[in-house]
C-alpha cells in the first residue's frame, strides 16, 4: 500500500469521524423527552446519582453493575413508583447500602429517576424482530 493511499484513507476516516461526531453531539441525540423533561431538581439528582455511585450496582438503559436491578422505569413500574423508590433510599436493604441520605437528597434522586423514566424503556420486553436482524419496539 503506497504512502499516499494510506494518508488518503486516514484523511477520509478522520473527516467522516468529525462529521459523525458532530451529528451525535446534536441532532443524533436531540431526543424530545431527554431534552425537555428535565427539571432543576432532577439535574441535582443526576449529580447525586453519580456522587453515590448508584451505577456500581444498578443499570440505566441496561448499562451499569449487575448487583441490583435496572432502575430506568422503577417510577412507572407495576406496583412500584416514587414512594417505593423512596423506601429503598431511606434505609437501604440487606443488599443495598443505606447512604444516610437527607430528605432533600432523596427527593432529588427520585426526581431524577422520574425524569429518566419518561425518556424511554429498559429492559425492552415487547418488541418485534425484523428479517434483517433489526428490532422494532412495540
Partner 1 sequence: MSAFPFFKSRPLHVSMVIAWIFLSAIGGIYYYLPRYCKLPLFSNKLPRLHFWIFLVTGIAILCCYIAGKFGGRKYWEYPPILAVPIVISWLLFGFNYFKTVAKKAGEWPVYLWMWGTGILFFLFTFCESYLWLFPYFRNNIVRDITVQWKAYGALVGSWNMLVYGTAIFLMERIKGDESVARSKLSFAMYFLGLTNLLFGWAHHIYIVPAHSFIRYFAYFISMTELIILAKIIGNWKSSLTEAQKDFHLLPYKFIVASDFWIFANLTLALAISVPAINIFTHGTHITVAHAMGSMIGINTMILLASCIFLIEDIAKHEYTIGEKKAITGGFWILNFSLVIFFIALLFAGAEKGLLIIEDKLSFQEIMQHISPFLTLFTIAGFGIFTGALLVVTPSVKRISKYLRQ
Residues that bind ligand HEC (CB under 6 A): 52-54, 56-58, 67-69, 71, 74, 77, 80, 85, 88-89, 93-97, 99, 109
* Residue 138 in the binding site for partner 1 (CB under 8 A): no
For residue 13, the partner it binds in partner 1, ligand HEC, none, with Cβ less than 5 to 8 A by kind, is: partner 1
Complex with ligand HEC: residue 34 or 80, whichever CB lies closer: 80
Tell the residue number behind the cell numbers 412500584, with chain if given: 80
Tell the residue number behind the cell numbers 441525540, with chain if given: 29
Alpha helices, DSSP H, located in 1-138:
3-25, 32-36, 40-51, 82-91, 103-119
For the CB of residue 16, give the shortest distance to ligand HEC in the complex, in Å.
Answer: 39
Distance CA 59, CA 80 (A): 17
Amino acid at each position: 500500500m503506497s504512502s499516499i493511499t494510506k494518508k488518503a484513507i486516514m484523511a477520509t476516516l478522520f473527516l467522516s469521524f468529525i462529521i459523525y461526531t458532530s451529528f451525535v453531539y446534536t441532532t443524533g441525540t436531540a431526543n424530545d423527552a431527554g431534552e425537555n423533561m428535565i427539571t432543576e431538581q432532577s439535574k441535582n439528582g443526576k449529580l447525586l446519582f453519580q456522587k453515590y455511585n448508584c451505577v456500581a450496582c444498578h443499570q440505566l438503559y441496561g448499562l451499569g453493575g449487575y448487583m441490583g436491578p435496572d432502575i430506568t422505569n422503577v417510577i412507572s413500574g407495576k406496583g412500584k413508583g416514587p414512594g417505593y423508590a423512596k423506601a429503598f433510599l431511606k434505609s437501604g436493604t440487606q443488599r443495598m447500602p443505606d447512604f444516610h441520605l437527607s430528605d432533600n437528597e432523596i427527593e432529588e434522586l427520585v426526581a431524577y429517576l422520574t425524569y429518566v423514566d419518561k425518556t424511554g424503556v429498559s429492559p425492552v420486553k415487547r418488541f418485534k424482530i425484523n428479517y434483517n436482524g433489526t428490532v422494532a419496539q412495540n
